[in-house]
């Protein structure tokens, strides 16, 4: 139980630090770019929140046994999919809460900055409802496919993770070979 609270505290502290860093970087960057690119950034942040919500929902709905069958056939990324599903609570917390909430907070802040920079009172009034509508609506639209195609989604995520691991493994192997005498 003590480790559980430690994990929750770590997630909370990480959320604070990441949000503080990203928010600061975003605010200073938005002053230097056009409203069009600011709007693109806003849509990208909303999309990231929706994507991670879909992944978080899918991991809870995925069927672990299908990935065991894939692993028995030595299908690439099956072991990563099994790890994701076995840790569904942590993965869902990371995707839905950490990434999703940060994306929601940032999209609200970016929306306010964009609306203020445009200076139109109507836009300033409508930006928060527009951002929340896109976010909530996008997440709602993603729920059914996330549940229906959970195994496919998780396999795709596992494939990306496997690719990522291979990239970093190659880098580690190169560093080791450069450092060894031979």
The rounded distance, in Å, linking the Cα atoms of 116 and 110 is 10
Tell me the DSSP string of 156-167.
HHHHHHHHHHHH
pLDDT digits (tens, 9 = 90+) for 107-129: 988 888 888 877 777 877 888 89
The rounded distance, in Å, linking the Cα atoms of 18 and 45 is 14
DSSP assignment letter at 98: I
Domain edges within the chain: 2-179
Residue pair 96/57 in contact by the 8 Å Cβ criterion: yes
pTM greater than the 0.75 cutoff: yes
pLDDT digits (tens, 9 = 90+) for 36-92: 888 898 999 999 999 999 999 999 999 999 999 999 999 989 999 999 999 999 999
């Amino acid at each position: 139980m003590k480790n559980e609270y430690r994990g929750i505290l770590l997630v909370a502290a990480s959320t604070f630090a990441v949000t503080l860093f990203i928010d600061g970087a975003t605010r200073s960057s938005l002053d230097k770019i056009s409203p069009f690119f600011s709007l693109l950034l806003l849509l990208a942040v909303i999309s990231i929140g929706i994507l991670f919500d879909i992944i978080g929902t899918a991991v809870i709905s995925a069927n672990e046994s299908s990935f065991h069958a894939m692993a028995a056939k030595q299908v690439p990324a099956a072991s990563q999919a099994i790890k994701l599903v076995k840790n569904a609570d942590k993965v869902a917390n990371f995707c839905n809460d950490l990434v999703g909430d940060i994306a929601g907070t940032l999209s609200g802040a970016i929306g306010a900055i964009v609306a203020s920079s445009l200076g139109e009172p109507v836009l300033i009034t409508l930006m928060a409802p527009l951002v929340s509508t896109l976010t909530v609506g996008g997440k709602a639209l993603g729920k059914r496919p996330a549940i229906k195609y959970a195994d496919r989604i998780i396999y795709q995520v596992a494939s990306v993770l496997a690719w990522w691991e291979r990239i970093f493994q190659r880098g580690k192997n190169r560093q080791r070979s450069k450092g060894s005498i031979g």
